[in-house]
């Protein structure tokens, strides 16, 4: 990995380089995606079936697009029982963590006859997009569906591309059933997002769409935003390790590669105060890359967006970590809890040398759907809050309104909204 001394110029170059990974930069695909979205909105099922046959080489119709109970039973028979046990343990941790995020409605009454409050209501329906192809990501299925189930969403719809056999990957399907999906449809790509957003004869529309996908899926979510809610427009995965000279270079190297293997646009960055650690980590990375199965992806990812930055002080290292606002941040220092208090921007923070990033991906419980491309400056991990909405509650008695009606009328008149003022005034005409 390249080793760079951290200064103002290298910091500026790095931040500009990382911005190239933003999905919003891929405008060349937007016309194609918009055309698919509009076609599905217009032709509905007919368009969905046509795109599925064209892209996935599978011919489906209204009778076969939805996964049946029989297909779910067949999927269970194909999944390794040991993997089922692991998934159930992971689910317990995920559900326990997200249960703590639940919010209750609240009301506050005062002696003057006013009641104010907030009513919390789960969304009625959400759509969860799950990538297909050769790979299966049951962990993402659990992370997207379980918070919705905890929030109380009554209709949880999963969409995922079918394989050439017209079936959903059995591990993906079992994970969806375990987590609480109420419906599963065999459709992927931008056409799946459009179907969820606008509805078709076979796929009723939803209120919100979540879940990862390729650039076509990301841009489709962007295109339908406003017709439905979305979680985010996710970019490539990324990890930043913040370390001092106490860190184990072999552990750090392994953790950097755990994200670099996702794809060629993934980012893996070490920020350290130790030049000695920098060289040792670089050597360990070279050794690991030669032995790992996704070598070509790892090499390209590290060539494109792999960095080791050597800072003059921990304060400088923390500063650049906050600027990068990484999706995953590992703190491997003598006192990681102290350093953590100075971190403002990160999707998920992993503390100490035994809290490596895959612990969060698969098992610990916190959600692994995290803000990317610096959006941790203002976005949070996926959670129960993403599956609820809030309504304000206002009640005033006549006596309570009488005490303040003059002030409200003056405020409305100052904005030249006389009908607003009149709406208050008419209640006290007899006075």
Positions marked active-site: 327-328
Question: Phi-psi region for residue 371, left (φ > 0), alpha (ψ -120 to 50) or beta?
Answer: beta
Q: Are 48 and 200 within 8 A, CB to CB?
A: yes
What is residue 239's DSSP assignment?
A: E
Q: Are 197 and 205 within 8 A, CB to CB?
A: yes
Scored b (16 or more CB within 10 A) or e, 219-255 reads bbbbbbeeebbbbbbbbbbbbbbbbbeebebebbbbb
Shortest CA distance to 308 belongs to which of 286, 284, 335, 279?
A: 279
Burial of 311 (0-12, 13-18, 19+ CB in 10 A): buried
Burial of 37 (0-12, 13-18, 19+ CB in 10 A): buried
Angle between helices 81-99 and 170-179 (to 10 degrees): 40
Separation between Cα atoms, residue 103 and residue 340, nearest integer Å: 26
Q: What is the CA radius of gyration of the chain?
A: 25
């Amino acid at each position: 990995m390249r080793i760079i001394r951290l200064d103002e110029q290298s910091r500026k170059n790095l931040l500009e380089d990382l911005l190239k990974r933003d999905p919003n930069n891929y405008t060349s695909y937007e016309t194609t995606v918009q055309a698919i979205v509009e076609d599905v909105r217009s032709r509905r099922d007919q368009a969905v079936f046509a795109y599925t046959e064209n892209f996935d080489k599978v011919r489906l119709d209204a009778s076969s697009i939805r996964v049946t109970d029989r297909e779910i039973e067949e999927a269970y028979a194909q999944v390794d029982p040991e993997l089922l046990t692991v998934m159930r343990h992971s689910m317990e941790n995920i559900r326990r963590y997200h249960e703590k995020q639940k919010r209750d409605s609240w009301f506050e009454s005062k002696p003057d006859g006013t009641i104010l409050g907030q009513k919390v209501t789960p969304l009625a329906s959400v759509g969860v997009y799950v990538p297909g192809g050769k790979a299966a990501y049951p962990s993402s299925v659990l992370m997207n569906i379980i918070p919705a189930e905890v929030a109380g969403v009554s209709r949880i719809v999963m969409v995922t591309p079918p394989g050439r056999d017209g079936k959903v990957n059995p591990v993906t399907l079992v994970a969806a059933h375990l987590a609480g999906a109420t419906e599963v449809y065999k459709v992927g790509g931008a056409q799946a997002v459009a179907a969820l957003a606008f509805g078709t004869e076979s796929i009723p529309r939803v209120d919100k769409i979540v879940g990862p996908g390729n650039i076509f899926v990301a841009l489709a979510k962007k295109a339908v935003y406003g017709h439905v809610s979305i979680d985010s427009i996710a970019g490539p995965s990324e990890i930043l390790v913040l370390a001092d000279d106490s860190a184990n270079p072999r552990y750090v190297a392994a953790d950097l590669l755990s994200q670099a293997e996702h794809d060629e646009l993934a980012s893996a960055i070490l920020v350290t105060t130790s030049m000695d650690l920098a060289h040792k980590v670089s050597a360990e990375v070279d050794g690991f890359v030669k032995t790992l199965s996704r070598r070509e992806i790892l090499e390209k990812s590290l060539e494109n967006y792999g960095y080791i930055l050597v800072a003059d002080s921990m304060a400088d290292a923390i500063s650049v970590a906050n600027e990068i606002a990484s999706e995953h941040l590992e703190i491997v220092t003598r006192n990681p809890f102290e350093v953590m208090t100075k971190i403002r921007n990160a999707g998920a923070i992993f503390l100490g040398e035994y809290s490596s990033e895959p612990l969060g991906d698969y098992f610990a419980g916190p959600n692994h759907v995290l803000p990317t491309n610096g959006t941790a400056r203002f976005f949070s991990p996926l959670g129960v809050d993403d599956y609820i909405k809030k309504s304000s509650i206002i009640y005033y008695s006549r006596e309570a309104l009488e005490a303040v009606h003059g002030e409200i009328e003056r405020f409305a008149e100052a904005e030249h909204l006389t009908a607003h003022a009149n709406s208050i005034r008419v209640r006290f005409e007899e006075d």
